[in-house]
Amino acid sequence: MPGLIAWCMYDWANSAFPTVIITFVFAAYYTQAIAATPEIGTGHWGLAMSLSGIAIAVFSPILGAIADQGGRRKPWIFFFSAICVLSGMLLWFVEPEPHWVIAALVIVAVANIAFEIGTVFYNAMLPEVARPNMIGRVSGWAWGAGYAGGLACLAVALVFLVQPEVPAFGLDKQAAEHVRATGPLVALWFAIFALPMFLFTPDRASRGLPVSVAVRDGLSTLKRSLRALPRQGQVLRFLIARMLYTDGLNTLFAFGGIYAAGTFGMSFEEILIFGIVLNVTAGLGAVALAWVDDWIGPKRTIVLSVGVLLVLGAAILLVESILWFYILGAAIGAFIGPAQSASRSLMARLAPTEVRTEMFGLYALSGKVTAFFGPAMVGAVTVTTDSQRWGMATILLLYAAGLYLLLPLREPPPPVE
């Protein structure tokens, strides 16, 4: 049990990075204070995230296959976590000056790659820390802990650094030290709360292979797996289905604030509150519906969640009231978390034990390979129809396509004690 709790704490620890750095604070700091204009900054930021996504998609399956040959996962998690922590520390030096543009983007892109690849090895540990009949619950608990940890770190950043007239430690607002300090805050948060996982969560035994042999055998295994993937119908079907509905989820997060501002005229503060509400309900949903995953199975949980998202997504595009936008947005959040956590537990059940990390590498690939598609559809349809509502409606098509592919999938029989 201590090892399981410690494993869940890693989600609490590392989620501070995407919440504070990628989504809410540092991204806004880059576009508003470092880049020449907010529009140019948005383009730069999007390009950096896209390039880091390509690197994640390429290297995740390769490193996962190598790790499967070597046996242990925690050294890999430690290595990539350390890169993410160091990158967070380096963000302190990024001053609000144009000559920091390249350095800021490189640091954030490297940190994002390290964060995502480290998560591949972390996810692959799920079937080993949880009993077979509790994989869904543990995945949901950890996912909920992740949302809570990210928001807790964000709250600390806002209350003590970003919002006060006089920030903690006498930081100089003129030099943006109060915002730059969020990088080291995230780094320390990540390092401190990830420590229990390294101390208490058991790892697989090392196979004792030399690094060169592990690399050679891992690449050979990956090549065979990719060739065999078309014959592994259930895994392939799930990866493609997840690629589609996850693209919809990611696009929703990317454009939700833009839609709120453009269609409802919401201020930055209102959008920030809406983002927090969305994250809170997503975390609560992941925890509350975690038992449903083990009860009815992860596939049915995903179908239920994405199906409800399809209905609620259509409804939120029809409302004119900000109040109803908040209400429906909160409800949407409650089913985003279960869709994400059940996807992880379904992959854990589908993946063969001997290539589990490699399969989670492909799982990461499926979440990145078409990351451009959803935003491109939203942008193109919005421009063509001159309507944000019609542009956002394309997200519903991604949900529907993912559901269509997922419905015939045959998941493994439920585990027994």
Q: Rounded to an integer, what distance in angstroms lies between the CA atom of residue 260 and that of residue 400?
A: 23
What's the pLDDT score for residue 182?
Answer: 94
- Which pLDDT value is given to residue 11? 95
End-to-end alpha carbon distance in the chain: 17
Specify the pLDDT at position 286: 87
The predicted pLDDT at position 416 comes to: 54
Residue ranges in the chain whose pLDDT is less than 50: none
Alpha-carbon radius of gyration of the chain: 21
Q: Calculate the CA 320 to chain-centre distance.
A: 30
pLDDT digits (tens, 9 = 90+) for 323-373: 898 899 899 989 988 998 898 888 888 877 777 777 777 777 777 766 667
Give the pLDDT of residue 364: 75
Q: Calculate what percentage of the chain has a pLDDT beyond 90.
A: 33
pLDDT given at position 196: 96
